[in-house]
Amino acid sequence: MSVGLQMKKLKLLLAGLCLTLPLSLFAAGDLPVVPKAKTKATAEYGCVNPIDDMRRNHMDYLLHQRDDTMHRGIRTTKYSLAKCVECHISADDEGNYAEFGESEHFCSSCHNYAAVTIDCFQCHNDKPESAGLSQNSSSPTLPEGHENVASNLALPSGDAK
Ligand code: HEC
Ligand code: HEC
Ligand code: HEC
């Protein structure tokens, strides 16, 4: 590793110590490259909610949506994980999709940068359904918020039925 790169890492580390995580992510000069969405959810602000709000609160929306679906049988699709993926994950020029974990994947672009780990894509498709299914049905137990799902074999389609 070059000295320059080490200095860069040290600077990033210091920046991270000085600011809280979500702020440092967007205040630091060295931002992650976030892939662009395919279309707009609303003409007004692009995503399903204003962008600043989505950057800060998407985790809460996703987890609430999951709770609503799993515990109370409510199926609103506004914060559907399948829909996020459908709109935010596109193929590159050669028709290949980035996998979750690669920095080219929308969700991983920030998460890799901010060292956030999520388990969602062990089960959920990390690509739009049109790209073919790639769900992993070998996960041993369903996570918190999924208690009412009978088995891992009932894989998420995400869309309201
Ligand atoms: C119909 C399309 C669409 C859907 C569905 C959608 N988004 Fe977005 N989202 C956008 C657009 C457009 C933007 C603005 C940035 C861009 O053009 O990529 C955006 C921006 C974001 C950003 C900020 C990205 C940045 O550049 O900092 C986050 C985070 C985000 N969306 C998360 C989500 C999540 C989580 C879901 C599912 C609950 C979701 N989005 C659903 C279209 C969509
Ligand atoms: C062990 C497998 C598994 C893991 C891990 C998992 N889920 Fe799910 N999830 C499911 C199953 C099964 C359903 C039900 C599928 C359906 O009803 O469409 C579901 C449904 C959902 C739904 C409602 C459907 C939709 O697309 O909106 C959301 C939202 C959701 N999960 C979010 C998450 C998030 C966020 C994580 C990570 C924090 C996560 N899930 C992790 C298996 C999993
Ligand atoms: C614009 C950057 C950005 C994008 C894009 C993004 N995230 Fe996040 N996400 C974050 C940050 C930063 C955190 C940590 C926030 C914190 O700890 O306060 C986070 C946290 C989460 C968490 C909670 C993790 C935990 O254990 O607390 C979930 C779930 C999540 N993101 C799901 C997603 C999904 C699914 C996508 C893609 C559809 C996505 N995120 C795209 C920045 C992003």
Q: Name the pTM for this structure.
A: 0.81
SS3 (DSSP) at 3: helix
Question: What pLDDT, on the 0 to 100 scale, is given for residue 74?
Answer: 75
Q: Whose CA is nearest to atom 36 of ligand 1?
A: 84
Question: What pLDDT, on the 0 to 100 scale, is given for residue 58?
Answer: 96
5 C-alpha to center of ligand 1: Å? 31
Specify if 161 maps to a domain.
Answer: no
Specify if 142 maps to a domain.
Answer: yes
Q: Tens-of-pLDDT digits for all 161 residues of the chain?
A: 455 556 566 555 545 544 444 545 555 557 889 999 999 999 999 999 999 999 999 999 999 887 777 777 777 788 999 999 999 999 999 999 999 999 999 999 999 999 999 999 999 999 998 776 544 444 445 666 555 444 434 444 443 33
Question: What pLDDT, on the 0 to 100 scale, is given for residue 138?
Answer: 44
78 C-alpha to center of ligand 2: Å? 14
Specify if 82 maps to a domain.
Answer: yes
**Number of domains present in the structure of the chain:** 1
Q: Whose CA is nearest to atom 32 of ligand 2?
A: 66
Helices marked H in the chain: 3-18, 21-27, 51-72, 81-88, 106-114
Specify if 26 maps to a domain.
Answer: no
Q: Is 91 in the pocket of ligand 1 (CB under 6 A)?
A: no
Domain that holds residue 124: 33-152
Q: Is 121 in the pocket of ligand 3 (CB under 6 A)?
A: no
Specify if 124 maps to a domain.
Answer: yes
- Which whole-number Å values give the CA distances from 89 to 27, 92, 101, 114, 142, in the listed order? 25, 10, 13, 19, 25
d(CA 141, CA 155): 13
Question: What pLDDT, on the 0 to 100 scale, is given for residue 73?
Answer: 79
